[in-house]
Structure 1
Amino acid sequence: MKNLFLTLLFLPLLSSCQGDEINAITDELKTTEVMYTMPEESAPHEGTWLQWPHQYQYGIDHRNDLDATWIAMTKSLIQGEKVFIITYDAVEKNRIKTLLQESGISLSSIEFKIYKTDDVWVRDNGPIYVKDKNNQLVIQDWGFNGWGKKADFLNCNTIPMQIAKDQKIKVLDLNTTMINEGGAVEIDGNGTLMATKSSILNSNRNPGMTQQQAQAYFKKYLGTTNFIWLEGKAGREITDMHIDGFARFGNTNTIVTMNENDLLYWEVPQNDITTLYNSKDKNGKNYTFLKLPLSKNNVVTTYGKKLGYKGSYVNFYIGNTVVLVPNYNDPNDIVANNLIQSLYPSRKVIGIDVRNLYANGGMIHCVTQQQPR
């Protein structure tokens, strides 16, 4: 439950409404100007947020199997920015400090925060940093309900508010406005948003919400005026087919995705593939495409579990000086790494072993969240 003083401090926002009230609010939003803009991922960062795996939800083996991935991400990111590490409690904080120090990693660019979490997916439950008309940072706290109440979420849903309080940054409480996970939307930094309807306009997230209503919210709060909507596939996995698993904006004029056969393997509907390949920016210009392969082989975890499916390289993360790319101990790792390196010549591409994380449904982009400078 949000504290009363937070409610008083922060801007008044839309409340849950029914019937004619929803229509009235929607009509108002249609004509509401852009109030906030979200910087693209490649814009300069103050730092990156990570929620470190712990034993309290899925057990100690789960935690231990994932530690190495978080160590590798931290080691890579501190080359060019701060790393904000969310730990479950003080015991976990000390354990993680020891792990990092034993790996030769300086703690000077790391800031620890103790907040209880349900899981590691900070992209989806964490703060969305935007800038207001005065170019000041604002944290948006969109609703998070465990991808349609498929997983525990009450702890993770409090994270943006806790961060805003700690950082003394103004926060917009959008919990009753819209359920919106960070991995469900991609922005090109030039006014275009790309998303699947299955992960936003879904009765398990936003029952009754129309595409027009969603666009009005995104225009006002993220600054996007052009929209690429794919149908997606509800039930494809826990996220109902987040866009960031198979299509990303590499920059303002490039979409990073896969070839048609690999998109079909990913179960992207054929009509969506056509829509994606014919996408245009807000000026009506076609995007350039960089198409990454899937892993050559089905992924096998470090502890020998055969997942029975291939891995995507599209779920990478752009840091200040590095680009972290999911790797699978696969022959196509180097192919994907080199292709992504060609897109970011001024940044160093670093492959991060995500095999154990992938067994839980996600890759690098899913577990990182940027804080703009």
Structure 2
Amino acid sequence: MPSETAPQERVWMSFPRPGVTLGETDTDRAAGFATWSAVAAAVADFEPVTMLVDPVAADAAAQHLRADIATVPAPVGEFWMRDTGPTFVLGQDGRLGAVDWVFNGWGDHDWANWLPDRPTARTVAEMAGAEVVSSALVNEGGGIHVDGEGTVLLTRTVQLDPRRNPEATQGTVEVEMARTLGATTPIWLPRGLHRDMDSLGTSGHVDIVATIASPGVLLLHSQEDPSHPDHAIMAHIREVLEAATDARGRHFEILDLPAPATLQDGEGWVDYSYVNHLVVNGGVIACGYGEDRADARAREILAAAYPGRKVVTVDARELFARGGGIHCITQHQPVSGPAALASLNGQGAASAAAQTSHTTQGGVR
């Protein structure tokens, strides 16, 4: 799996459909439609976007989406493409692969409408012309981050969640990360943010906690207010990451991304995070929270971490109210073919070959 900063072919998304996650009122639904559409428009200013649209949301998609965003009719249950869609990888010859994780609604929660999403990863893989890499691991794209050199960030409360993988062990998960992603150096975080651990959360996705901006450089969520539970949680996570070394044996240079000043909403402590951004060709699509000073500070940090890319802010409060952010609703597809080999960033031929030479069946249980 190449770094998220590698050249991209396009970004995939799913348009929200009516249901519990979108909201019960017309106001809730309109806000969700508008925010997903705003993210798609921001991405489309940099690279192509393809949006899966369930037939029940076709009229809303036609009303809200910009004309240059491609739409494809397909079943949609939960509309967090980072988790329901495939994770793209490159083979040693540059061929495009797509890891088809098992998705069970972040642990088979009773509120999650995940059954329609069973074919999503393979549907996207087919449209992208990718070879499928099958996996029996229940996992989501929001639960991993890689540096393209063999390092992967994981969370014990996600991959080892008994509601996801009751028989998996740390060792079997690590073998599966090496087989599917070419990631040979796992770094395990102990848990996720406070809000994300509740009954409506993912149990600790890494993509609101930390991301590797470039090899050896890590962007880390920082909650500066000691009254927020995430203040202590992030202090512990920071200790883990300070002690860790990546696939090249480096200790990370850690860059803090301070949370905005807002601490709570109507449901309790918020997990607003600027870590949950999307890197695109020539740009970064950043979460905003209606706080000019904090949003501007995040743009400055992101611009420094991703030199040469324009940072654009999209208000993400309606996303986080539903359980995620900009990274969560998007899935990037890297450029493939011989010209894409450089994006492997020096991964060994053996680990790259393990990613996709043909359709692969695998298991971790």
Instruction: Please tell me the TM-score bracket, short chain as reference.
Output: 0.7 to 0.9
Q: State the 1:143 CA deviation.
A: 0.4
My pick for the range that moved more, 282-291 or 306-315, is: 306-315
Correspondence for 1:211 among 170, 179, 182: 170
The question of 1:62 aligning with 2:24 is answered: no
In the TM superposition, what are the counterparts of 1:87-102 in structure 2 within 5 Å?
A: 87-89=53-55, 92-100=57-65
Q: CA RMSD in A?
A: 2.2
| Cα deviation code 1:104-135 (max 9, x no counterpart) | x442xx22111111122111111111112321
Q: Is the contact between residue 295 and residue 310 of structure 1 (CA under 8 Å) also seen in structure 2?
A: no
Amino acid in the other structure paired with 2:261: K
1:228 is aligned to: 187
CA distance in 1, matches of 2:181, 2:167: 21
Correspondence for 1:272 among 234, 237, 254: 237
Unpaired segments ≥5 residues, structure 2: 336-365
* Count of matched residue pairs: 323
The question of 1:363 aligning with 2:363 is answered: no
In the TM superposition, what are the counterparts of 1:1-373 in structure 2 within 5 Å?
A: 38-57=1-20, 58-59=23-24, 60-89=26-55, 92-100=57-65, 105-107=66-68, 110-150=69-109, 151-174=112-135, 177-232=136-191, 236-237=197-198, 238-259=201-222, 261=224, 265-266=229-230, 268=233, 271-298=236-263, 308-309=269-270, 311-330=272-291, 331-373=293-335
Q: State the 1:168 CA deviation.
A: 4.1
Structure of greater relative contact order (alpha carbons < 8 Å, 6+ residues apart): 2
Amino acid in the other structure paired with 1:213: T
1:20 is aligned to: none
Amino acid in the other structure paired with 2:167: G
Q: Is the contact between residue 224 and residue 258 of structure 2 (CA under 8 Å) also seen in structure 1?
A: no
Amino acid in the other structure paired with 1:344: Y
| Cα deviation code 1:77-101 (max 9, x no counterpart) | 1222110111111x6335323323x
CA distance in 1, matches of 2:44, 2:33: 17
1:4 is aligned to: none
Q: Is the contact between residue 299 and residue 355 of structure 1 (CA under 8 Å) also seen in structure 2?
A: no
2:341 is aligned to: none
Using a 3 Å threshold, how does the CA distance of structure 1 residues 166 and 258 change in structure 2: closer, same or farther?
Answer: closer
CA distance in 2, matches of 1:296, 1:96: 33
Instruction: Provide the TM-score with structure 2 as the length reference.
Output: 0.82
Using a 3 Å threshold, how does the CA distance of structure 1 residues 56 and 202 change in structure 2: closer, same or farther?
Answer: closer
Q: State the 1:197 CA deviation.
A: 0.7
Amino acid in the other structure paired with 2:187: I
1:7 is aligned to: none
What is the aligned-residue identity percentage?
29
| Cα deviation code 1:280-337 (max 9, x no counterpart) | 111221111110111112365xxxx575535211111101122011111013111111
Unpaired segments ≥5 residues, structure 1: 1-37
Q: Is the contact between residue 16 and residue 57 of structure 2 (CA under 8 Å) also seen in structure 1?
A: no
CA distance in 2, matches of 1:56, 1:202: 26
CA distance in 1, matches of 2:225, 2:206: 15
Using a 3 Å threshold, how does the CA distance of structure 1 residues 337 and 274 change in structure 2: closer, same or farther?
Answer: same
What SS does the corresponding residue of 1:86 show, helix, strand or coil?
strand
